[in-house]
Structure 1
Amino acid sequence: MHLLKNFILIVLSLLTSQFVMYYFIDELIVVFAASPVPYILGRFLLAFVIFGCFKFLMKEFEIESIYINLAMILYLVFLFSITLFRGNSKSTDSNFMPFNFLTYASEANLSTFTAAVLINMLMLAPLGAYLRIKNIKFAFSWQVILYGSLIIEGLQFFTKRGSFDVDDLMLNTLSGGLAYLAVGLIHKQIPKAQLSNSFRKSS
């Protein structure tokens, strides 16, 4: 019965992921990606997230560590596929001035600006959430998030797939930190007995 329930949840997660990606997210990915890899990986990654949400809504807080680690590996491959398979960027001008994206807001339409900011805000959020689930201390976690963002910006710069942007660096790091704190707040709402068991299984 347990296997059947998980199978149904997985199928529902995949179908929901396909719907959301096709109608809402693919148009954002096309701005960055020149390969089908991010589209495929994105669907599986989103399906993992949806599956976790289903389990949470059903008050089944224990997700085995293997699924969490697999989702993290998939996320990292997805992240670097967007960075490396996006094609040559038309703009390779680096930005070292903080909050320069606010100037861009006055030049671009609102939807384009909002989409760009949201993408950067969500870029490293899964990493922050993963570090919190693994009980990694915040003092170390934010450094991992910062270095991760630096690696992404560096890859874009040196591979000519983009440019180094200090605003992206700040937004990516901020998103990871906020996700870390958000997961901590969510875990405070979980009954203590289930919480400790959930953390133990995720370690």
Structure 2
Amino acid sequence: MIKKLYKILILPYTLFLLYLMFLGMGRSMMEDNAVRLKPILSTLWFIEETILWTDIVKIVIGNIIMFMPFGFLGWCFPSLKDLKNLMYTFVSAITIVEGLQYFTRMGIFEVDDILLNTLGVYLGWLLCRGIEKRISRSAL
């Protein structure tokens, strides 16, 4: 039942995330293309410069949690149950999305976003494996 619901909701969820990444949260086209290539440092800089903890949680933790559902993609695409295949596919896709943000100037190409989003997918994959183990044990 949960797998069927996931298969129904993952496409609209993906479209919602793309909306947030390009148009949501008051985004508008930036004057110049922007890139942040220093891993971890830009996130630490953001935390230092941000006064409100809610903004830190929304951006940093949100970049992790919002991508956890993609750790369950193996339920739709069996080859993505393998962590290596999932990570390769996801990192390729999120790099393309970050590149599109850069070229459209509707966001910043940030290495930290790629790392945080990928961490979210990995945590989602771990959660998925845990759920599957629990389901298989209860079926016995």
Question: What SS is found at the alignment partner of 2:135?
Answer: coil
2:38 equivalent in structure 1: 97
TM-score, L = length of structure 2: 0.80
> CA offsets per residue over residues 125-155 of structure 1, 9 Å max, x none?
1111232675421110111121121122112
Q: Which of 167, 171, 174 is matched with 2:119 structurally?
A: 174
Gaps of 5+ in 2: none
Letter of the 2:135 counterpart = I
Larger radius of gyration: 1
Letter of the 1:71 counterpart = L
> CA offsets per residue over residues 153-201 of structure 1, 9 Å max, x none?
1121111111100011100111101110111012212244749xxxxxx
1:123 aligns with 2:62: no
Which one has more relative contact order, counting CA pairs under 8 Å at least 6 apart? Answer: 2
> CA offsets per residue over residues 85-141 of structure 1, 9 Å max, x none?
234255753100011211221111232122210121123211112326754211101
Q: Which of 22, 41, 50 is matched with 1:84 structurally?
A: 22
Q: Runs in 1 of length 4+ with deviation above 6 angstroms?
A: none
TM-score, L = length of structure 1: 0.58
Letter of the 2:15 counterpart = V
Q: For residues 35-46 of structure 1, what are the structure 2 equivalents within 5 Å? A: none
1:137 equivalent in structure 2: 82
Gaps of 5+ in 1: 1-61, 196-203
Percent identity, aligned pairs only, is 26
CA contact (8 A) 1:125 1:178 kept: yes
Aligned residues: 133
In structure 2, the CA distance between the partners of 1:166 and 1:193, relative to structure 1 (3 Å rule), is: same
> CA offsets per residue over residues 13-64 of structure 1, 9 Å max, x none?
xxxxxxxxxxxxxxxxxxxxxxxxxxxxxxxxxxxxxxxxxxxxxxxxx336
CA contact (8 A) 1:153 1:164 kept: yes
